[in-house]
Amino acid sequence: MSPGRAAAFNFPVEAGAILQFARAIGDPNPVYVDANHARRRGFADVLAPPTFVMVGDVFDPRYPRRPCLSAEGLVAPNAPLDALLHVSQHFEYRRHVTAGECLSVRRLPVREWTKQGRRGGALEFVETITEYVDATGMPVITATWTDVRPEAGHRAMSTAPADESPAAPAPGGAVVVRDLSRTQLVMYVGVAGDFHPLHHDDAYARRHDYPGVFAPGMLTMALTGHAVTDALGDGTLRAFGGRLTGQVWPGDTLRTLITAGREQEWSVTTVNQLGHAVFDGYATTRTHF
């Protein structure tokens, strides 16, 4: 992509994809399934969960995490995916999207910078901003995805289950997944279109020195979003984001703790069964759109 130019493609928001996404994160909220229920709640149609717009990657003709099938078989994604670790994600909402819309998706030019890591070695940060725009030309959601490329390699920044010892457990919180299964990983990557092999191919993960597959960071955030909407209401978010602070593995149980800060500002932390934070973030809400 040339500097200063944005790539664009269309993203039809489909009720069936919203249903699959809600099932993949284990959220039975009828506002994601039943159009009549959603309309009674004041929405134009079935509402999309807070992080659903990541499904738009399915429609990106140049999406790097999607392998291609041909007569010769499976062709791996054309990108050095093993080098990058997703470390933070932020969403800004002008409003929430509903089924039946067709959004225009614009990827802004990538921003990169380098800083020295605390464990030694350089860290290269790669930031991608994606804008989702409605049919009237009005921005709806802006998503900011940040990766890091560590000089020591992706695995050097990873924490396997055997590396962790129990931490002091934080009190309370809502359980958002219990004993995460590999099937749920596949359900999520299937609807989101993120086919990085570290999230579904156990043999590939082991060849790259991991104990096995692990959850995409965006599944962790989507599960966290389930707790956020349960606590703060549907369609109320102005912003939702934070740092992906730990990997999530099959067998993990996650709890999300939401703490009130200033008016309409909330601290959001998701921890695993050992008490370690895997997501550390925030949510801000509005009363009306």
- Topology adopted by domain 7-285: Thiol Ester Dehydrase; Chain A (3.10.129)
Residues 214-236: b if buried by 16+ CB within 10 A, e if exposed = bbbbbbbbbbbbbbbbeebebbb
The pLDDT of residue 220: 98
Read off the amino acid at residue 277: A
Per-residue pLDDT reduced to its tens digit, 136-150: 999 999 999 999 988
pLDDT of 119 over the 80 cut:
no
175 by DSSP, 3-state: which? strand
122 — pLDDT class (breaks 50, 70, 90): confident
Per-residue pLDDT reduced to its tens digit, 171-220: 689 999 999 999 999 999 999 999 888 999 999 889 888 899 999 999 99
Per-residue pLDDT reduced to its tens digit, 13-65: 999 999 999 999 999 999 999 999 999 999 999 999 999 999 999 999 988 88
- Calculate the average pLDDT of the chain: 88
Asked if 189 and 218 touch (Cβ cutoff 8 Å), the reply is: no
The pLDDT of residue 271: 96
pTM: 0.90
> Domain spans of the chain?
7-285
